Chain A
């Protein structure tokens, strides 16, 4: 896809009118372009640019959420085409805010960025107990699991969940953690595979872990 075309997706993702992305996506589907090209070279490339702007603090949370909503709509429109071509996601990712914690904005941003990067994301929500994580892992068989916590009281629950995951299967999935009280050192201590301080870095970490595994 040409740079000018990626620009069109970038502008459409930032547009407050949902119709803009709908028209653009429809236009590209009608051009008989591969849905994978539309997704990877159009939408994901545009979202990556938005992620970088967010990381550089050139834009803020509302713009990212708006882009995510637009992207979600475009993916919905592409889905039937993607199913026809049997396109596999970059990886499967499960995330939740751990039990005892109801904070979700950080987790939601990770969901947005991971979806925007081509992952199939299952959001377990907030206040998620260990058993729910384990159940979802056995059903979905994800490549990665993300644990989020904002409180010092709940960060300790992360270790409990990781222990449960490792007991069930020592090698898969990879577990990444994040949230204000969490540090790289804490991540290492509790046996997580990685720590990301924000949503953009979570995607970078996820990509790296999957590359290392393959």
Chain B
């Protein structure tokens, strides 16, 4: 008798370019869950206090444990430095410590105002989390005032990062890994950014200002990147030595935001550096590629990335899964493939959904280097039955190699 593989084994096989027994199916449902749980609109077959994992078990796929739970905090310390883009969340394999920095926190309604006092000056930021965001299932707070507001702030933020100490927190990670068990791989979180410049773009300035600052204050930006290098080095080293099989570093790549020359010059070198540290230890590098990737398709397979998670095809982007597969040349595992609008009745009728999924399976076949998932996440108003239908499809057509 041949034993079936666990979800985790399937996912890791797919991630390493080996054949699993069946196409791994791993829907991300956290936003859907948060929103429906809050609105008390979980499907009637569940108790309204049903847990996310109970529902994932019912769907029958693996557990999507990639993006940390930014709002599920044990103490305020866990996400108080959200404005700097650093966290101390449950499940993380490292813990950052701010050194020589006094933090002053003020709460005003939905807004958190944090000021960082350093020996060379102070910087501040604000972020919000409203009732409406809760109802929409938002998984992270929104920054309403960024930490860099004037040229002098670059140096102060640089001071903060130059002095951060990164401590291994492997017990915290192992707790997470044990909780996920054989239902999936528990990705160890590095940062939402892949590199210092990417971090400045994502966390310290709004997008429009960031691009103009590249012309207006290039020297200050470059100096800040240099100040941030030791932080990234420490995080990479601690994660490379961690018990995790998969490391998540960098999110939201997109041909417009992280346009090809930016990706090539400011993101790729750091992905390659991290991959070079991970691969000799048998670890894999995962990135959250949830944007329009058409212009980045040729760069991704050269970046050292093993798993491109949240890959989203037409109609939400310009690419088809066949095009992504061709561009990745068997070097990168696609995690995703089902655009979130496919789960919305407003966007696709049941018949259109069926046709869409049949075509998708045709494109995925024979199914190597593929983990089927929703990109980037199941929307709150998704038709739940469609997730169950996908499980049926995977059971019916997903035996690897697929002959669809």
Contact = CB atoms under 8 A, between A and B. Distances in A.
Contact of A105 (B31, B208, B381): B208
B54 interface: no
Contacts, number: 77
B61 interface: no
A153 B212 contact: no
Nearest to A105: B207
A189 interface: yes
A20 interface: no
A161 to B, nearest CB: 15
B215 A62 contact: yes
A60 B261 contact: yes
Contact of B137 (A62, A105, A108, A153): A153
Nearest to A69: B212
Interface stretch (B162-170, B184-192, B339-347, B396-404): B339-347
A93 B364 CA distance: 43
Chain B interface bracket (under 10, 10 to 19, 20 to 34, 35 or more): 35 or more
Interface residues of A, number: 29
Given A156-B346, A181-B340, A60 B212 contact: no
A183 B136 contact: no
Given A62-B211, A62-B215, A183-B347, A156 B381 contact: yes
Contact of B346 (A16, A61, A102, A189): A189
Contacts of A153: 31, 35, 136-137, 379-381
Nearest to A189: B346
B262 interface: yes
A122 to B, nearest CB: 17
Given A16-B215, A180-B292, A104 B317 contact: no
Contacts of B212: 62, 65-66, 69
A85 interface: no
B347 A105 contact: no
A159 B137 CA distance: 20
A181 B31 CA distance: 16
A189 B352 CA distance: 14
Interface string B245-269: 0000000000111011110000000
B382 to A, nearest CB: 8
B295 interface: yes
A100 B259 CA distance: 26
Interface string B289-329: 00110010000000000000000000111100000000000
Interface string A175-214: 0000011010110011000000100000000000000000
A18 to B, nearest CB: 10
A153 B32 CA distance: 10
Contacts of B380: 153
Contact of B256 (A61, A99, A100): A61
A5 to B, nearest CB: 25
A180 B261 CA distance: 22
A171 interface: no
B257 A61 contact: yes
B220 interface: no
B223 interface: no
Interface string B344-359: 1011000000000000
Given A105-B208, A159-B346, 9 more contacts: A60-B262, A65-B211, A102-B142, A152-B340, A152-B381, A156-B381, A180-B291, A185-B347, A186-B341
Interface of A: 16, 57, 60-62, 65-66, 69, 99-100, 102, 104-106, 108, 151-154, 156, 159, 180-181, 183, 185-186, 189-190, 197
The 7 closest A-B pairs by CB, nearest first: A152-B379, A60-B259, A62-B211, A105-B207, A183-B315, A152-B340, A153-B136
9 contacts: A57-B255, A60-B259, A61-B256, A61-B259, A100-B133, A154-B136, A180-B291, A181-B341, A183-B341
Interface of B: 31, 35, 132-133, 136-137, 142, 206-208, 211-212, 214-215, 255-257, 259-262, 291-292, 295, 315-318, 339-341, 344, 346-347, 379-381
